[in-house]
A = this chain, B = another copy of it.
Amino acid sequence: EIVAAIEAALADGPLKGRRIIVTSGPTHEPIDPVRYIANRSSGAQGTALARALAGLGAEVVFVTGPADVPPPAGVTVERVETARQMLAAVEDALPADAAVFAAAVADWRVANASASKVKKDGGGRLPALEFAENPDILARVAQMGDGRPALVVGFAAETDDVIAHATAKRGRKGCDWIVANDVSPATGIMGGTENAVTLITAEGAQSWPRMAKEQVANRLAQMIAEALA
């Protein structure tokens, strides 16, 4: 790991001098002190991408939720739990040349989270959770006026109609690229080691063959380097 850190610090690749924010992992949204809402992101793809970008010489700020995989060496790690904390960490990390939002951010948080553990009342009554929409980190950064990163990349985890949903998402958010993947349980991608992505840009959709998440990361990092060149 120390070797990796030194290599990254010394890396003299095409991204030398470029500052890139990468978000990764899930967010956890508390219900009460012991319960929370989570999502099935291992952080593997975001971690691989941060590693690949650092390997090309970028100064990477890695904003990560509670992920299964450890953060890569050679990057600045900012650990967060909730979507709102993630937004704050991203805002703190700006300005940047590029921002890649690979985290699986919870769309909603629990508006009436409890400071003490919610109890069953014995009468079979169910808890009344109220939800509030979380800030949309991707849209907020993509639609910045002054100080917008030159390249803003979002991820889309879809279970059906992947290209149509992801293309609509790109337009709605105002980002430059969307990296879309099909996370239907049958694909085994969520939590697995491989990924099958479709890259949506202004030019259209480009479907990549299924490959290891490291290969996806290397290919994306290379494209980011070309876009920033």
Give A residues with C-beta under 8 Å from B.
28, 31, 33-41, 104, 106-108, 116-117, 120, 122, 124, 126-127, 129-133, 157-160, 172, 183-185, 190
Collect the chain B residues with CB atoms within 8 Å of residue A131's CB. Answer: 126-127, 129
- Residues on B with C-beta less than 8 A from A124 are 133
Task: Determine whether the beta carbon of A108 is less than 8 Å from that of B122.
Answer: no
| A107 to B122 CA separation, bound complex (whole angstroms) | 11
Query: Closest residue of chain B to A115, judged by CB?
Result: B159
Q: Beyond A33-B183, A34-B41, list 17 extra A-B contacts (CB 8 Å).
A: A28-B38, A33-B40, A33-B184, A33-B190, A34-B159, A35-B39, A36-B37, A37-B38, A38-B38, A107-B120, A108-B127, A117-B158, A117-B183, A120-B133, A124-B133, A126-B131, A126-B133
Number of copies: 2
Whether A104 contacts B34 in the complex (CB less than 8 A), given A122-B172, A159-B117, comes out as yes
Task: Knowing A126-B133, A131-B126, say if A33 contacts B159 (CB, 8 Å).
Answer: yes
Give Cα A126–Cα B134 distance, bound, in whole angstroms.
11
19 contacting pairs across A/B (C-beta < 8 A): A28-B38, A31-B37, A33-B159, A33-B184, A33-B190, A34-B39, A34-B183, A35-B106, A36-B37, A38-B38, A107-B120, A108-B126, A117-B158, A124-B133, A126-B130, A126-B131, A126-B132, A126-B133, A127-B131
**Which residues of chain B are within 8 angstroms of A172 by Cβ–Cβ distance?**
122
Task: Choose among B37, B107, B157 the residue that contacts A37 (Cβ–Cβ < 8 A).
Answer: B37
